[in-house]
Structure 1
Amino acid sequence: MTPQTRTEIEAAVFRRLLEHLDAHKEVQNIDLMILANFCRNCLSKWYQAEADARGESLEYEAARELIYGEPYNDWKAKYQPAATPEQLAAFEEKQKG
């Protein structure tokens, strides 16, 4: 596999991951953090960091919009309910290690 082909495949996989997350808005960021130790916001931060590493100027909110497919505050208002006490307890336990 050539480096170019690998890059194209990786980009396609990333787009597919974003499509999958978009199709499953019921999966909350806190659930992702509990189970996988990353969430949509992490992807946004990683996206911004990689853009910055390549000399591209990308604000965090712009990176979030790329990941969420719309402004984050709009997405949050539509799809992200407040975390339940159970979710918060599980997240806190996860952070302990």
Structure 2
Amino acid sequence: IRNGRLASSAKSYGEAARLERTLYKAGETGLLDVLDAERSAYSADDTLLQSRVSIATDYIALNKALGGGWDGVVDSTTPEIIDVTTGPRFASRAVAQ
């Protein structure tokens, strides 16, 4: 919903900037008004792009969290993390002492 509204907003700001340029060419408005309208249009475009990047990033994070694309087999008999109680280096030290 938010992304759709941002797209609509960016389109409206772009149209406003286009109209300001037309008014400027006709001598009806000043350059600062044109620059302000263009700044607003670029800002709206930037916000829309940030929203799209955020959606893609969140989708990737969710897919990874849910194990998307994982086809491997998990061996539950071997520990994933080797720590002080399961590490082979500690077993060799105990034998050497």
TM-score computed with the length of structure 2 as normaliser = 0.32
More helix by share: 1
What TM-score do the two structures reach when normalised by structure 1? Answer: 0.32
Larger Cα Rg: Structure 1 or Structure 2? 2
